[in-house]
Protein backbone atom coordinates (compact mmCIF):
# COMPACT_ATOMS: atom_id res chain seq x y z
CA UNK A 1 0.00 0.00 0.00
CA UNK A 2 2.85 2.43 0.84
CA UNK A 3 4.26 2.07 -2.68
CA UNK A 4 0.91 2.91 -4.32
CA UNK A 5 0.34 5.72 -1.82
CA UNK A 6 3.59 7.36 -2.90
CA UNK A 7 3.41 6.63 -6.62
CA UNK A 8 -0.29 7.00 -7.44
CA UNK A 9 -2.44 8.37 -4.63
CA UNK A 10 -0.30 11.20 -3.22
CA UNK A 11 0.55 12.74 -6.63
CA UNK A 12 -3.13 12.78 -7.61
CA UNK A 13 -4.35 14.39 -4.39
CA UNK A 14 -1.44 16.76 -3.81
CA UNK A 15 -1.26 17.75 -7.48
CA UNK A 16 -4.96 18.64 -7.54
CA UNK A 17 -4.71 20.66 -4.34
CA UNK A 18 -1.59 22.49 -5.51
CA UNK A 19 -3.40 23.71 -8.62
CA UNK A 20 -6.48 24.72 -6.64
CA UNK A 21 -4.36 26.64 -4.10
CA UNK A 22 -2.78 28.56 -6.97
CA UNK A 23 -6.22 29.31 -8.41
CA UNK A 24 -7.49 30.53 -5.05
CA UNK A 25 -4.76 33.19 -4.98
CA UNK A 26 -5.83 34.71 -8.33
CA UNK A 27 -8.89 36.95 -8.11
CA UNK A 28 -9.53 36.89 -11.86
CA UNK A 29 -10.11 33.10 -11.88
CA UNK A 30 -13.86 32.68 -11.58
CA UNK A 31 -14.24 28.95 -12.18
CA UNK A 32 -12.02 25.87 -12.14
CA UNK A 33 -12.70 22.77 -14.26
CA UNK A 34 -11.05 19.60 -13.00
CA UNK A 35 -10.58 16.51 -15.14
CA UNK A 36 -11.59 13.60 -12.94
CA UNK A 37 -12.60 10.14 -14.20
CA UNK A 38 -15.54 7.79 -14.50
CA UNK A 39 -13.50 5.62 -12.13
CA UNK A 40 -14.41 7.90 -9.22
CA UNK A 41 -18.07 6.89 -9.63
CA UNK A 42 -18.24 3.19 -10.50
CA UNK A 43 -16.99 1.26 -7.48
CA UNK A 44 -19.94 1.38 -5.10
CA UNK A 45 -20.48 -2.31 -4.54
CA UNK A 46 -23.64 -2.18 -6.68
CA UNK A 47 -23.68 -4.85 -9.42
CA UNK A 48 -23.42 -3.17 -12.82
CA UNK A 49 -26.27 -5.03 -14.50
CA UNK A 50 -27.94 -3.99 -17.80
CA UNK A 51 -30.73 -2.16 -15.98
CA UNK A 52 -28.32 0.11 -14.10
CA UNK A 53 -27.75 3.75 -15.09
CA UNK A 54 -24.66 5.31 -13.56
CA UNK A 55 -25.08 9.06 -13.07
CA UNK A 56 -23.53 12.03 -11.29
CA UNK A 57 -24.94 10.91 -7.94
CA UNK A 58 -22.64 7.88 -7.88
CA UNK A 59 -19.44 8.03 -5.82
CA UNK A 60 -16.88 5.24 -5.57
CA UNK A 61 -16.62 3.64 -2.13
CA UNK A 62 -13.05 3.68 -0.89
CA UNK A 63 -13.53 0.43 1.04
CA UNK A 64 -14.69 -1.29 -2.14
CA UNK A 65 -11.73 0.14 -4.05
CA UNK A 66 -9.29 -1.05 -1.38
CA UNK A 67 -10.80 -4.52 -1.37
CA UNK A 68 -10.31 -4.65 -5.15
CA UNK A 69 -6.81 -3.15 -4.78
CA UNK A 70 -7.81 -0.60 -7.40
CA UNK A 71 -5.28 2.06 -6.48
CA UNK A 72 -6.02 4.27 -9.48
CA UNK A 73 -9.69 4.41 -8.49
CA UNK A 74 -8.65 5.31 -4.95
CA UNK A 75 -6.42 8.11 -6.25
CA UNK A 76 -9.12 9.63 -8.46
CA UNK A 77 -11.77 9.31 -5.75
CA UNK A 78 -9.61 10.93 -3.07
CA UNK A 79 -8.45 13.66 -5.46
CA UNK A 80 -12.04 14.54 -6.31
CA UNK A 81 -13.09 14.52 -2.66
CA UNK A 82 -10.18 16.81 -1.81
CA UNK A 83 -11.07 19.14 -4.67
CA UNK A 84 -14.69 19.55 -3.58
CA UNK A 85 -13.69 20.07 0.05
CA UNK A 86 -11.13 22.73 -0.86
CA UNK A 87 -13.53 24.45 -3.26
CA UNK A 88 -16.23 24.66 -0.61
CA UNK A 89 -13.86 26.00 2.03
CA UNK A 90 -12.34 28.59 -0.30
CA UNK A 91 -15.36 29.72 -2.29
CA UNK A 92 -14.20 28.28 -5.62
CA UNK A 93 -16.75 27.64 -8.37
CA UNK A 94 -15.72 24.08 -9.24
CA UNK A 95 -16.85 21.76 -12.06
CA UNK A 96 -15.59 18.20 -12.53
CA UNK A 97 -15.55 16.22 -15.78
CA UNK A 98 -15.64 12.41 -15.58
CA UNK A 99 -14.57 10.79 -18.87
CA UNK A 100 -14.27 7.11 -19.59
CA UNK A 101 -11.75 5.58 -22.02
CA UNK A 102 -10.77 8.54 -24.21
CA UNK A 103 -10.25 7.67 -27.88
CA UNK A 104 -9.64 9.52 -31.11
CA UNK A 105 -6.76 11.16 -32.94
CA UNK A 106 -3.48 11.55 -31.07
CA UNK A 107 -1.87 14.99 -30.91
CA UNK A 108 1.33 13.82 -29.21
CA UNK A 109 3.84 11.32 -30.68
CA UNK A 110 3.66 8.96 -27.69
CA UNK A 111 0.88 6.68 -26.43
CA UNK A 112 -1.38 7.60 -23.55
CA UNK A 113 -3.00 4.90 -21.43
CA UNK A 114 -6.38 4.99 -23.18
CA UNK A 115 -4.90 4.51 -26.64
CA UNK A 116 -2.53 1.87 -25.33
CA UNK A 117 -5.56 -0.09 -24.10
CA UNK A 118 -7.00 -0.17 -27.62
CA UNK A 119 -3.63 -1.06 -29.13
CA UNK A 120 -3.17 -3.92 -26.67
CA UNK A 121 -6.68 -5.18 -27.40
CA UNK A 122 -5.84 -5.31 -31.10
CA UNK A 123 -2.54 -7.06 -30.36
CA UNK A 124 -4.29 -9.70 -28.30
CA UNK A 125 -2.98 -8.73 -24.87
CA UNK A 126 -5.68 -6.53 -23.30
CA UNK A 127 -4.50 -4.70 -20.18
CA UNK A 128 -7.97 -3.77 -18.93
CA UNK A 129 -11.04 -6.00 -18.67
CA UNK A 130 -14.18 -5.44 -20.69
CA UNK A 131 -16.56 -3.58 -20.72
CA UNK A 132 -15.06 -0.39 -22.07
CA UNK A 133 -16.58 3.03 -21.38
CA UNK A 134 -15.77 4.90 -24.60
CA UNK A 135 -15.75 8.63 -25.25
CA UNK A 136 -14.21 10.71 -28.02
CA UNK A 137 -11.35 13.04 -27.10
CA UNK A 138 -13.04 15.84 -29.04
CA UNK A 139 -16.19 15.48 -26.96
CA UNK A 140 -14.12 15.61 -23.78
CA UNK A 141 -12.33 18.75 -24.95
CA UNK A 142 -15.65 20.36 -25.89
CA UNK A 143 -17.09 19.49 -22.47
CA UNK A 144 -14.20 21.26 -20.72
CA UNK A 145 -14.73 24.40 -22.79
CA UNK A 146 -18.47 24.35 -22.18
CA UNK A 147 -18.01 23.71 -18.47
CA UNK A 148 -15.86 26.83 -18.32
CA UNK A 149 -17.96 29.09 -20.52
CA UNK A 150 -21.60 28.11 -19.90
CA UNK A 151 -22.75 30.24 -16.94
CA UNK A 152 -25.11 27.60 -15.54
CA UNK A 153 -22.52 24.79 -15.58
CA UNK A 154 -22.06 23.29 -12.13
CA UNK A 155 -21.20 20.08 -10.30
CA UNK A 156 -20.18 16.85 -11.98
CA UNK A 157 -20.55 15.74 -15.61
CA UNK A 158 -20.26 12.14 -16.79
CA UNK A 159 -18.60 11.79 -20.20
CA UNK A 160 -19.22 8.37 -21.74
CA UNK A 161 -20.60 7.95 -25.24
CA UNK A 162 -20.94 4.18 -25.17
CA UNK A 163 -20.38 1.28 -22.77
CA UNK A 164 -19.41 -1.78 -24.80
CA UNK A 165 -17.53 -5.06 -24.74
CA UNK A 166 -14.31 -5.99 -26.51
CA UNK A 167 -16.48 -8.30 -28.67
CA UNK A 168 -18.21 -5.36 -30.31
CA UNK A 169 -14.97 -3.46 -30.88
CA UNK A 170 -13.39 -6.54 -32.45
CA UNK A 171 -16.41 -7.01 -34.69
CA UNK A 172 -16.08 -3.44 -35.92
CA UNK A 173 -12.36 -3.95 -36.60
CA UNK A 174 -12.98 -7.21 -38.46
CA UNK A 175 -15.60 -5.57 -40.65
CA UNK A 176 -13.70 -2.37 -41.38
CA UNK A 177 -10.04 -3.38 -41.23
CA UNK A 178 -9.70 -6.83 -42.81
CA UNK A 179 -6.09 -5.96 -43.69
CA UNK A 180 -5.25 -6.25 -40.00
CA UNK A 181 -5.67 -10.03 -40.28
CA UNK A 182 -6.56 -10.37 -36.63
CA UNK A 183 -5.38 -13.92 -35.84
CA UNK A 184 -7.18 -16.59 -33.85
CA UNK A 185 -4.77 -16.32 -30.93
CA UNK A 186 -6.15 -12.83 -30.22
CA UNK A 187 -9.58 -14.15 -29.29
CA UNK A 188 -10.25 -13.22 -25.66
CA UNK A 189 -11.44 -15.55 -22.94
CA UNK A 190 -14.95 -14.12 -23.29
CA UNK A 191 -15.01 -14.96 -26.98
CA UNK A 192 -13.66 -18.45 -26.43
CA UNK A 193 -16.31 -19.23 -23.82
CA UNK A 194 -19.05 -17.92 -26.09
CA UNK A 195 -17.67 -19.91 -28.98
CA UNK A 196 -17.44 -23.16 -27.05
CA UNK A 197 -20.56 -23.06 -24.90
CA UNK A 198 -23.06 -20.91 -26.76
CA UNK A 199 -22.40 -20.97 -30.47
CA UNK A 200 -20.69 -24.37 -30.81
CA UNK A 201 -18.45 -22.95 -33.50
CA UNK A 202 -14.80 -23.66 -34.11
CA UNK A 203 -12.39 -20.93 -33.07
CA UNK A 204 -11.31 -20.58 -36.70
CA UNK A 205 -14.89 -19.58 -37.61
CA UNK A 206 -15.26 -16.94 -34.90
CA UNK A 207 -13.95 -13.94 -36.78
CA UNK A 208 -16.16 -14.80 -39.75
CA UNK A 209 -19.08 -14.74 -37.36
CA UNK A 210 -17.97 -11.36 -35.99
CA UNK A 211 -18.13 -9.94 -39.51
CA UNK A 212 -21.68 -11.14 -39.99
CA UNK A 213 -24.86 -9.27 -39.13
CA UNK A 214 -25.94 -12.15 -36.88
CA UNK A 215 -23.56 -11.17 -34.11
CA UNK A 216 -25.06 -9.07 -31.30
CA UNK A 217 -23.08 -7.48 -28.50
CA UNK A 218 -23.78 -8.28 -24.88
CA UNK A 219 -25.97 -5.81 -22.97
CA UNK A 220 -24.12 -3.63 -20.49
CA UNK A 221 -24.99 -1.03 -17.88
CA UNK A 222 -25.45 2.56 -19.01
CA UNK A 223 -23.87 5.88 -18.10
CA UNK A 224 -26.20 8.88 -18.03
CA UNK A 225 -25.65 11.50 -20.71
CA UNK A 226 -28.36 13.89 -19.56
CA UNK A 227 -26.17 16.44 -17.82
CA UNK A 228 -23.48 16.30 -20.51
CA UNK A 229 -26.10 17.02 -23.16
CA UNK A 230 -27.26 20.00 -21.09
CA UNK A 231 -23.81 21.46 -21.78
CA UNK A 232 -24.43 21.07 -25.50
CA UNK A 233 -22.49 17.84 -25.93
CA UNK A 234 -23.66 15.62 -28.79
CA UNK A 235 -21.61 12.48 -28.44
CA UNK A 236 -19.78 11.29 -31.53
CA UNK A 237 -20.52 7.71 -32.63
CA UNK A 238 -18.14 5.31 -30.91
CA UNK A 239 -17.33 3.76 -34.29
CA UNK A 240 -15.91 7.10 -35.49
CA UNK A 241 -13.81 7.38 -32.34
CA UNK A 242 -12.37 3.89 -32.84
CA UNK A 243 -11.78 4.50 -36.55
CA UNK A 244 -9.93 7.75 -35.93
CA UNK A 245 -7.96 6.08 -33.14
CA UNK A 246 -6.89 3.28 -35.49
CA UNK A 247 -5.93 5.71 -38.24
CA UNK A 248 -3.96 7.81 -35.76
CA UNK A 249 -2.14 4.76 -34.37
CA UNK A 250 -1.24 3.79 -37.92
CA UNK A 251 -0.08 7.31 -38.80
CA UNK A 252 2.09 7.49 -35.67
CA UNK A 253 3.72 4.13 -36.46
CA UNK A 254 2.13 2.08 -33.69
CA UNK A 255 0.10 -0.08 -36.10
CA UNK A 256 1.21 -1.56 -39.42
CA UNK A 257 -1.28 -3.08 -41.83
Cα 238–Cα 48–Cα 144 angle in degrees, nearest 5: 45
Residue 76 among the catalytic residues: yes
The closest alpha carbon to 77, from 33, 37, 21, belongs to 37
Q: How far is it, in rounded angstroms, from Cα 87 to Cα 90? A: 5
3-class DSSP string for the chain: CHHHHHHHHHHHHHHHHHHHHHHHCCCCCCCEEEECCCHHHHCCCCCCCCCCEECCCCCCCHHHHHHHCCHHHHHHHHHHHHHHHHHHHHCCCEEEEEECEEECCCCCCCCCHHHHHHHHHHHCCCCCCCCEEEEEHHHHHHHHHHHHHCCCCCEEEEECCEEECHHHHHHHHHHHCHHHCCCHHHCCHHHHHHHHHHHCCCHHHHHHHHHCCCCCCCCCCEECCHHHHHCCCCCCCHHHHHHHHHHHHHHCCCCCC
How many other C-beta atoms can be found within 10 angstroms of the C-beta atom of residue 127?
A: 10
Active-site residue among 14, 66, 69, 76?
76
**Residues annotated as catalytic (active site), given as ranges:** 76
Amino acid sequence: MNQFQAEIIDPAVKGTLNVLRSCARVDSIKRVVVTSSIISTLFTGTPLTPDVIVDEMWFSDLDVCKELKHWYAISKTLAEQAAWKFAEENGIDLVTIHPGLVLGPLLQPNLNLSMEMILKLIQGSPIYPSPYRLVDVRDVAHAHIQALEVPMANGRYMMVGRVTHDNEILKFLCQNYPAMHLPEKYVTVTLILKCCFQLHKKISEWFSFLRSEDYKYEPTYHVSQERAKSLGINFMPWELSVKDAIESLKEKGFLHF
